[in-house]
Amino acid sequence: MNLSEHSSILIVVIPLIASFVNIFLNFLQRKLCYPFFVLVLGICVALSIDILCQVINFGVLRYRLGGWMAPWGIEYVIDHLNAYLIVIVSSMSFIVAIYSKDSVKKEISKAKLPYFYSTYLLLATGLFGITVTGDIFNLYVFLEIASLSAYALVAIGEKRSVLASFHYIIMGTIGACFYLLGVGYIYIITGSLNISDLTRLLPSLYESKVTLTALAFFIVGIGIKIALFPLHRWLPDSYTFAPSAVSAFASATVTKVGIYVLIRISFTLFEPKFLIEMTPLSNILIWWSTIAIFFGSLIAIGQKDFKRTLSYILIAEIGYMVFGINIGNKEGFIGAVLHILNDSLMIGCLFMIAGGVFYRIGSRNIEDFNGLNRNMPITMAAFTIAALSMIGIPPTAGFFSKWYLIVGAVKAGYLVSAVILIFSSLVNALIFFRILEKIYFTKNENTPMYNFRELPISMMIPIVITALAILIIGLYSGEIISSVIKFSLPKGF
């Protein structure tokens, strides 16, 4: 028996089992819940790295669930793109799990903590499931597992989070149902649900209106799930009022996994030429995402609440990725996939910092950030790095993905979009330097209120790790591209 053969299923099952074992632990020995929770996610990180190594060394992994052959049974397929996503999701969930130890203490009552951990693990299960599965209906189920746990996690935040969660449920359900309709139409026309099987079957059916309808349903459904601009209304409220650990985790992973699904649907299920040449869809998506970038950035300027600012920036960043995917050239795709990693690090780091500041001063208002540097120098240094990366200053990671996106946009001739991309960088510069100025060069008048020290160590370490990762990963972008992303390029790019 070789466990690493099974790592693609274990990464889904282990958090699932752990999530329920946690409930038993709650009754047996409550103190063990947190260590167990972190340990499990640590194991997931190890597994994900193992999967990545296997994929790099041996190529695509296929796992037949229950021993059933592929088009009939559910098959888990892991290629470079999945493996890359799994590593991102698992490491972010692990890092935020460490962070959550102290951070949730102020936001969630003690009795509910084990349930928080369980739901968190379920969310991780859902996300892992989405990334590993090679079956579009199974993907729907995992999508809903992830979404349901996300609704619950959002709802345990502060008072207003409940209404936000309700809106999230309504929007999320519409998105999921649209996706399900897409699955239905695909099933009607092909009689198969397996992605690799569909890749084979669909090309002969490209002329059919049903195929087009399915694709439209898919894209709108996923567009809601990833909060692409006009469908984004659920996101800012949810991520603002959710507990800080949840905002950090969800912002860093949920939308990124959505982007992954979009890539799978657009370029694996269908051939790239279907979206790019045979239908105007990719063109529509490019303009759609350009508008998303523009308005996301624009709305972000006006926000006073730091987490809300980040949410709108996130909406703009989602626009970046959707844009990069649809340009239809190598550079754009590389930029988008690289940005999945960079953005999850940056936005995760910033949300964690926002949570850290909230932990200490009890406010998310940007106006209250005055002079924080004196009290929390290390956190603020991390903030500076993440902010520079958001703006896209080299050598931080954010620059490199932006570089590829802009090069891709210019090469494909979408100059307006390139200008909007740069405009959004400038807006980020405006937003973040306004905050940096408050942090470093403004004294706070009411000093007694601010007599506090750095964050507790369990919150500091994750923040520092992500900030360092932003710096280091930037330098190794070439390595990542040549060993992972290059192999996940769709056909004909």
Partner 1 sequence: METSISIKPVLAIAVSAVSAFLIAITGEKLRNLRETWSILASIFKFLIVVSMLPDILCGKVIEYCLFRITSELILHFRIDALGLFFAMTASFLWIITSFYSIGYMRGLNEHKQTRYFVYFAITLSATMGVAFSANIFTAFVFYEIITIATYPLVAHKETEEAKKNARKYLAYLLSTSVAFQLTAIVLTYCLSGNLYFSKGGNLSNDISSSLLTITFLLYIAGITKAAIMPLHSWLPAAMVAPTPVSALLHAVAVVKTGVFMILRVVFYIFGVDLLKSLNLETVLAVVASFTIVAASVIALRQDNLKLRLAYSTVSQLSYIVLGAALLSPSALKGSIFHIIAHAFGKITLFFAAGAIYVTTYKTKISELDGIGKRMPLIMASFTIGALSMIGVPPFAGFISKWYLSVGAIESDKIFVLAILAISTILNACYFMPIVYVAFMKKSKDSKYNGINEAPIFVLIPTVLTAVLTLVVFLCPHPFIKLIILIVNQTFGG
Partner 2 sequence: MIRLYDDLIIQTVCRIMIPLIQLFAFYVIAHGHYSPGGGFQGGCILGASFILMVIAYDINWMKRRFSEKKNTLLMAFGVLIYALVGVLCILLGAEYLNYGILNKIIPTDSVKVRALGTLIIEIGVGITVMAVMVSIFLNLTTFGKHEKGEV
Partner 3 sequence: METVIGKYNYWIYIALMMIGFYAMIAKRNLVKKIVGMNIFQTAIILFFISTAYKKDATIPILIKSQEVIDPAKYINPLPHVLMLTAIVVMVSTFGVALAVIMMLYKQYKTLDEDEIIEILRKKK
- Of the candidate residues 9, 32, 43, 177, the single one contacting partner 3 (CB under 8 A): 177
Contact partners, residue 12, CB within 8 Å, separation at least 6? 125, 128, 129, 132
CA distances from 167 to 153, 202, 236, 293 (A): 14, 35, 11, 23
**Residue 23 in contact with partner 1, rule: CB under 8 A:** no
DSSP state of 75: E
- Of the candidate residues 4, 23, 191, 200, the single one contacting partner 2 (CB under 8 A): 23
**Residue 406 in contact with partner 1, rule: CB under 8 A:** yes
**Residue 155 in contact with partner 3, rule: CB under 8 A:** yes
- Of the candidate residues 43, 422, 461, 471, the single one contacting partner 1 (CB under 8 A): 422
DSSP state of 365: B
Identify which of residues 115 and 287 has a Cβ nearer to partner 3 in the complex.
115
Identify which of residues 21 and 422 has a Cβ nearer to partner 2 in the complex.
21
30 contact, one of partner 1, partner 2, partner 3, none, CB 5-8 Å limit per kind? none
Identify which of residues 295 and 403 has a Cβ nearer to partner 1 in the complex.
403
**Per-residue interface string for the shown chain with partner 2, residues 66-85, x marking contact by CB under 8 A:** xx------------------
Distance CA 304, CA 301 (A): 8
- Of the candidate residues 173, 213, 283, 444, the single one contacting partner 3 (CB under 8 A): 173
- Of the candidate residues 4, 20, 426, 452, the single one contacting partner 2 (CB under 8 A): 20
Identify which of residues 184 and 371 has a Cβ nearer to partner 3 in the complex.
184
Identify which of residues 20 and 452 has a Cβ nearer to partner 2 in the complex.
20
**Residue 433 in contact with partner 1, rule: CB under 8 A:** yes
Closest listed residue to residue 116, CA positions, set 126, 104, 106: 104
User: Element (H or E) spanning 77, and its range?
Assistant: strand 75-78
With 0-12 / 13-18 / 19 or more C-beta atoms within 10 angstroms meaning exposed / middle / buried, residue 38 is middle
Identify which of residues 309 and 477 has a Cβ nearer to partner 1 in the complex.
477
Contact partners, residue 436, CB within 8 Å, separation at least 6? 383, 384, 387
**Residue 24 in contact with partner 1, rule: CB under 8 A:** no
User: Element (H or E) spanning 63, and its range?
Assistant: strand 61-64
Distance CA 207, CA 330 (A): 27
Residue whose token pair is 């600012």: 309
**Residue 391 in contact with partner 1, rule: CB under 8 A:** yes
Contact partners, residue 116, CB within 8 Å, separation at least 6? 100, 104, 108, 153, 156, 243
Nearest-approach distance from CB 381 to partner 3, in angstroms: 34
Distance CA 401, CA 391 (A): 11
- Of the candidate residues 4, 6, 29, 449, the single one contacting partner 2 (CB under 8 A): 6
To the nearest 10°, report the CA torsion of 466, 469, 471, 476. Answer: -160
Alpha helices in 191-208 (DSSP H): 195-201
The sign one gets for the Cα dihedral 358, 362, 364, 366 is negative
78 contact, one of partner 1, partner 2, partner 3, none, CB 5-8 Å limit per kind? none
| 26-65 positions binding partner 2, by CB under 8 A | 27, 63-65
60 contact, one of partner 2, partner 1, partner 3, none, CB 5-8 Å limit per kind? none
To the nearest 10°, report the CA torsion of 182, 186, 188, 194. Answer: -120
Nearest-approach distance from CB 98 to partner 3, in angstroms: 27
Task: Report the alpha-carbon angle 455-459-463, nearest 5.
Answer: 105
397, 342 contact by CB (below 8 A):
yes
- Of the candidate residues 31, 110, 159, 209, the single one contacting partner 3 (CB under 8 A): 159
**Residue 388 in contact with partner 1, rule: CB under 8 A:** yes
Stretch that binds partner 1, among 76-84, 230-238, 271-279, 428-436 (CB under 8 A): 428-436
67 contact, one of partner 2, partner 3, partner 1, none, CB 5-8 Å limit per kind? partner 2
Q: Which residues bind partner 3 (CB under 8 A)?
A: 137, 140-141, 144, 148, 151-152, 155, 159-160, 162-163, 165-166, 169-170, 173-174, 176-177, 180-181, 184, 187-188
Q: Which residues bind partner 2 (CB under 8 A)?
A: 1, 3, 6, 9-10, 13, 16-17, 20-21, 23-24, 27, 63-67
Q: Which residues bind partner 1 (CB under 8 A)?
A: 388, 391-395, 400, 403, 406-407, 410-411, 418, 422-423, 425-426, 429-430, 433, 437, 440-443, 474-478, 481-482
